[in-house]
Amino acid sequence: MFTFNQLLDKVNDAVAALECNQQPDRLYEPIRYELSLGGKRIRPVLMLMAYQLYRFDVETIMPQALALETYHNFTLLHDDVMDRADMRRGRPCVHKVWGDNAAILSGDAMLILAYRLMTEQRTADRQHVQRNPIALAEALQTFTEATLGVCEGQQYDIDFEQRSDVTVEEYMEMIRLKTSLLLGCALKIGAQLAGAPSSDAESLYHFGEKMGLAFQLQDDLLDVYGDPTIFGKKIGGDILCNKKTFMLLSTLHMANPEQRDELNRWLEADQYDPDEKIAAVRAIYDAVGIRKVCEQKIEALFDEALSCLSTVAVSAEAAAPLREFAHQLLNRQS
Amino acid sequence: MFTFNQLLDKVNDAVAALECNQQPDRLYEPIRYELSLGGKRIRPVLMLMAYQLYRFDVETIMPQALALETYHNFTLLHDDVMDRADMRRGRPCVHKVWGDNAAILSGDAMLILAYRLMTEQRTADRQHVQRNPIALAEALQTFTEATLGVCEGQQYDIDFEQRSDVTVEEYMEMIRLKTSLLLGCALKIGAQLAGAPSSDAESLYHFGEKMGLAFQLQDDLLDVYGDPTIFGKKIGGDILCNKKTFMLLSTLHMANPEQRDELNRWLEADQYDPDEKIAAVRAIYDAVGIRKVCEQKIEALFDEALSCLSTVAVSAEAAAPLREFAHQLLNRQS
């Protein structure tokens, strides 16, 4: 069995070896650029980790692992156009370098390339692997479910910006669609391609889904309470853009009338000193004790995730790397 | 066997019955709108026509036929964003109604829906049709080849606007990718899903490809020489935007030095009376006799198409509707 870091190396090698040199160059160059920006490669690695619970020839599903990574990068590319973002991982976004139209069209091609990779039959060691066509069809269905869900999550995210009545439950469903679904499906696809029992594939899906929710809530938490020297992003970004996170929505729910009024004043303020707004909102967060509430929610989701993992019909030893991965993901500070 | 019009009715019914009512509404509403704008539905009908050369249960491949139509409409939706077009089939474009971001995201979802339809197994008469998974995998591969090719064609089309050294051959390759490939693949997918011999699938592909090229050249011809009361679009649009069509590129090649200089002056002119430019360019076209050249090229492609069709191993009677369709397509005035 390969460790997380060994699988990560394999994925990074495979991404670097991905042939995107077709013509016209102006279509494929932005794709190569976006894929070269790096990232944690969590989705393909999770897929390979689920696969190797059952089979060791992880190289044979590398096209499908790359499909997930290509798809994920496609969403970043189009999201950056929609968000008018300037930078991605320290470098200018595709639409800043090549323009909006190139970003739209190259993104479209990237989504198609992801589907092409999903259906690719990899030859390993010069031998043609005839994967069970039903397993491949099931994996493809899971992939489509995930990709469509991510679009839905993105649309909810956009809708929520204009709404003032978003509930905590709606926020949780939005991040489930936008973030967790793809993580869960990465694991499920790995299991499906390995021919695992469908109950295992489902349990792995739920493990990934709960982990994804915990991860996103932790991201929201770090945005407010993270160590600015480690976090990587500027602290308080969500507060400044009034992002309707679990913490903001829960605080509005838990606050007393004066606290709620003050919070609403900050949400509606047109002109303010950014540092003052961050400090003021954080003071209300502290007053209602939202940090603890959020940490407990993350803990509960983490426990649920591990409980899902424990129902997968493999030995505790085999599941150890996934358990370890979960611990590492939740102990992060950045 | 169903006639063209019977198949068209079936496709239109199926498009109308397509379930796109999921939430969030702002994601699916633009998709329903785009699909409701109508159109000739040529691609799905061609797929069904190829299929019924071999099998009569056309209903069982309706999801795949709808996949092609959904994909085609996705390209129109994103192209309209890139071209900053205002109207599509007499109604405002999606990006004019819902904004650019909605058009980008709904388009992405539409492309995913097309893939979902491509992989759907349709139950006919309450009986589950277990299509040969290899046939389905082959059809999916053909679909991906076509969709990626269309992106490449679109990029060449954009590139050509900035280039002054485009050759006739490059133009033909661009329209092959942007228009013909999908028509050819529609027929090929129909044959593949019916379990036709691969030589037939290839012949049908080439029939569609040549027809598509002839169709596009005729479109270019009608833009210059069409009857304005029938054509539907304003005559001379390609001339005004300096579109590097077969006719313009061939004329530049065939013209004498004075004619070429005059043509180049019109191509480089910043300020001009539109009607004067159209008349002047058409006069040069007439002088070199480009109409005849273009008509002969269309005729030759049409003959090649029919020759490809004749190599398909079905009776002349069975192939008659496709032959008739080809004749109708090329006798059009609009």
pLDDT at A124 over 60: no
Percent of chain A with pLDDT over 90: 89
Instruction: Mark out chain B residues that contact chain A at CB-CB < 8 A.
Output: 22-24, 26-27, 78, 81-82, 100-101, 104-105, 107-109, 111-113, 115-116, 119, 133-134, 136-137, 140-141, 144, 147-148, 151-152, 154-156, 158-159
Mean pLDDT to the nearest integer, B161-184:
97
Note if the bond before B44 is cis, omega within 30 degrees. Answer: no
Are A137 and B119 within 8 A, CB to CB? yes
A128: β partners = A123
Among the ranges given (B180-184, B224-228, B290-294), the one the predictor scored with the smallest mean pLDDT:
B224-228
pTM: 0.95
Longest Cα–Cα distance of chain B, Å, equals 70
Q: Which residues of B touch A154 (CB under 8 A)?
A: 105
Among the ranges given (A111-115, B199-203, B272-276, B326-330), the one the predictor scored with the smallest mean pLDDT:
B326-330
Beta carbons of A224 and A247 less than 8 angstroms apart: yes
Using only C-alpha atoms, chain B has a radius of gyration, in whole angstroms, of 21
Among the partner-chain residues B105, B119, B151, the one whose CB lies closest to the CB of A105 is B151
Are B24 and A133 within 8 A, CB to CB? no
Torsion of CA B135, B136, B138, B139, to 10 degrees: 110
The one-letter amino acid code at A226 reads: G
Q: Give the three-state DSSP class for B92.
A: strand
A272-315 pLDDT per residue, tens: 999 999 999 999 999 999 999 999 999 999 999 999 999 999 99
Give the per-residue pLDDT at B129: 58
Q: Which residues of A touch B108 (CB under 8 A)?
A: 78, 107-108, 111, 151
The total of other beta-carbon atoms located within 10 Å of residue A85's CB is 14
Measure B213 CA to nearest chain A CA, in Å.
20
Are A105 and B82 within 8 A, CB to CB? yes
Give the per-residue pLDDT at B290: 97
Q: Which residues of B touch A115 (CB under 8 A)?
A: 115, 144
Give the per-residue pLDDT at A234: 82
B250-280 pLDDT per residue, tens: 999 999 999 999 999 999 999 999 999 999 9
Give the per-residue pLDDT at B124: 53
Give the per-residue pLDDT at A126: 43
Query: Taking the alpha carbons of B11, B13, B19, B20 in that order, is the dihedral positive or negative?
Result: positive
Percent of chain A with pLDDT over 70: 97
pLDDT at B229 over 90: no
Q: Which residue of A has its CA nearest to B133?
A: A133
Write down how long chain B is: 334
**C-alpha–C-alpha distance, residues A232 and A334, integer Å:** 6
Beta carbons of B203 and B311 less than 8 angstroms apart: yes
Measure A228 CA to nearest chain B CA, in Å.
32
Are A108 and B109 within 8 A, CB to CB? no
| pLDDT range class, residue B83, cuts 50, 70, 90 | very high
Give strand ranges (E) for chain B: 87-88, 91-92, 123-124, 127-128
Measure B133 CA to nearest chain A CA, in Å.
6
Are B151 and A27 within 8 A, CB to CB? yes
**ipTM entry:** 0.95
Give strand ranges (E) for chain A: 87-88, 91-92, 123-124, 127-128
- A201 CB-near residues (< 8 Å, 6+ apart): A188, A191, A192
Please give the DSSP secondary-structure letter assigned to residue B177.
Answer: I
Measure A321 CA to nearest chain B CA, in Å.
33
Q: Give the three-state DSSP class for A142.
A: helix
Are A111 and B108 within 8 A, CB to CB? yes
A185-227 pLDDT per residue, tens: 999 999 999 999 999 999 999 999 999 999 999 999 999 999 8
- B227 CB-near residues (< 8 Å, 6+ apart): B333
The number of C-beta contacts closer than 8 angstroms across A and B is 99
Are A112 and B147 within 8 A, CB to CB? yes
Are B22 and A111 within 8 A, CB to CB? no
Question: Among residues B77, B52, B72, which one has the least CA distance to residue B62?
Answer: B52
Give the per-residue pLDDT at B21: 85
Give the per-residue pLDDT at A321: 94
Measure A257 CA to nearest chain B CA, in Å.
32
| pLDDT range class, residue A128, cuts 50, 70, 90 | low
B287-328 pLDDT per residue, tens: 999 999 999 999 999 999 999 999 999 999 999 999 999 999
Measure B27 CA to nearest chain A CA, in Å.
6
pLDDT at A122 over 90: no
Q: Which residues of A touch B70 (CB under 8 A)?
A: none
Question: Among residues A139, A216, A222, A140, which one has the least CA distance to residue A178?
Answer: A216
Q: Which residue of B has its CA nearest to A121?
A: B137
Are A112 and B111 within 8 A, CB to CB? yes
Percent of chain B with pLDDT over 70: 97
Query: Taking the alpha carbons of B246, B249, B254, B258 in that order, is the dihedral positive or negative?
Result: positive
Mean pLDDT to the nearest integer, A90-111:
97
Phi, psi of B124 (to 5 degrees): -105, 135
Q: Which residues of B touch A156 (CB under 8 A)?
A: 24
Among the partner-chain residues A112, A137, A156, the one whose CB lies closest to the CB of B144 is A112
Give the per-residue pLDDT at A134: 82
Phi, psi of A234 (to 5 degrees): -70, 135
Give the per-residue pLDDT at B332: 65
Are A23 and B148 within 8 A, CB to CB? no
Are B137 and A140 within 8 A, CB to CB? no
B114-157 pLDDT per residue, tens: 999 999 987 555 455 567 778 989 999 999 999 999 999 999 99
Give the per-residue pLDDT at A333: 61
Give the per-residue pLDDT at B126: 43
Beta carbons of A62 and A32 less than 8 angstroms apart: no
pLDDT at A130 over 50: yes
Are A24 and B156 within 8 A, CB to CB? yes
Are A155 and B27 within 8 A, CB to CB? yes
- A111-141: b (≥16 Cβ within 10 Å) or e: bbbbbbbbbbebeeeeeeeebeeebbbbbbe
Measure B39 CA to nearest chain A CA, in Å.
23
Among the partner-chain residues B104, B141, B156, the one whose CB lies closest to the CB of A119 is B141
Are B144 and A115 within 8 A, CB to CB? yes
Q: Which residues of A touch B154 (CB under 8 A)?
A: 105
Tokens of A38: 């790096």
**C-alpha–C-alpha distance, residues B311 and B12, integer Å:** 31
Please give the DSSP secondary-structure letter assigned to residue B243.
Answer: -
